[in-house]
Amino acid sequence: MKNYKHVFDTLQKEIGKVVIGQEAIIEQILIAMIAEGNALLEGYPGLAKTLSIRTLADLMELKFSRIQNTPDLMPSDITGTYIIEEVSGKRQFKFQKGPIFGNIVLADEINRATPKTQSALLEAMQERQVTVGNTTFKLDEPFFVLATQNPIEQEGTYPLPEAQADRFLLKIKVSYPTFDEEQKIVDIYTSGASVPKMRTLLNKQHLSHLQSVAKQVPIAKDLKIKALKIIEATRTKKDLIQYGASPRASIGLILASKARALIKGRNYVSSEDIETLVFPILRHRIVLNFEAERKGLTTDDAIKELIKKSK
């Protein structure tokens, strides 16, 4: 397990040359990838969301594609479409694959796309395949969708419905860097120094192996029960939460905890893993009731309350 920790430490170090700070964000993105899940990153503009994902894709020798969501984006712009191609004087339809056919797909500002376009992307996330006309195309493995959204602009946006947001394993909140980190960022990007070139550390086979090893990490029975009790509490705590999380959240929490244990070089899941990951797992899966919103509580506050009750 120490070898695996070394791999992830090296990965973080390499990313740290380009992305200053945001170690927690990088870690959560890695957790989502190892747990074979998708992640939704929410943060203000200019916080290196796109840069982090792109850098990670470079380090892992994975095909990176980007979808810039706008209100006029069509589903075929994501999935691909048939084009007429002339071959040897003959015209025929050829399927032109869309940006969804990558290994890491960055869906920028997903809340700006129309619900129809969002559903095309989300269907691909769920089914790992794309249907165009009568033909189904399987997506390449591994396949991750890392979507971003801006919490500021609410006009002209189409917020993801809760049922669709449930398909994302983690909702990662990207925050501002610290003062020292910002100083470092300014020093690097204003000094004219070139951005260091990334060397490939992992490939598809390595990633696939890491994903299978993560599933082997054991979790104690009482910790599993604790995790399930927290998820169950989201459905029973009616004084704060109107709609609770589904069993998808239970699966996601256990898998993500195992992935985090692997990243930390541990051969067992600890309660710290569960308590850390319950926030990104649940914050997009629960809906607060009117009373909680009136008090000004956030989903993170409600989750803190649930963790306190589970102890």
Judged by the rule CB under 8 A, the positions of this chain that interact with another protein are 1, 213, 216-223, 267-271
Token couple for 304: 């803190």
Token couple for 285: 């899966």
The Cα-based distances of 178 to 22, 49, 184, 190, 300 in angstroms read: 10, 16, 10, 18, 21
| Amino acid at residue number 235 | R
DSSP 8-state secondary structure symbol assigned to residue 167: T
Token couple for 34: 């190892």
| Amino acid at residue number 105 | V
Q: 59 with 11: CB under 8 angstroms?
A: yes
Q: In this complex, which beta carbon is closest to another protein, that of residue 88 or of residue 205?
A: 205
Q: How far apart are CA 292 and CA 74, in angstroms?
A: 37
Q: In this complex, which beta carbon is closest to another protein, that of residue 219 or of residue 228?
A: 219
Instruction: Output the smallest distance, CB 218 to another protein, in A.
Output: 4
Q: In this complex, which beta carbon is closest to another protein, that of residue 110 or of residue 255?
A: 255
Instruction: Output the smallest distance, CB 56 to another protein, in A.
Output: 24
H helix runs in the chain, sequence order: 2-16, 23-34, 49-59, 75-79, 115-127, 162-165, 179-190, 204-216, 221-236, 247-263, 271-282, 290-294, 299-310
Instruction: Output the smallest distance, CB 225 to another protein, in A.
Output: 11
Q: In this complex, which beta carbon is closest to another protein, that of residue 173 or of residue 215?
A: 215
Per-residue H/E/C for 297-310: CCHHHHHHHHHHHH
Q: In this complex, which beta carbon is closest to another protein, that of residue 142 or of residue 265?
A: 265
Q: Three-class SS of residue 95?
A: strand
Instruction: Output the smallest distance, CB 262 to another protein, in A.
Output: 8
Instruction: Output the smallest distance, CB 267 to another protein, in A.
Output: 4
Q: In this complex, which beta carbon is closest to another protein, that of residue 185 or of residue 213?
A: 213
Instruction: Output the smallest distance, CB 213 to another protein, in A.
Output: 6
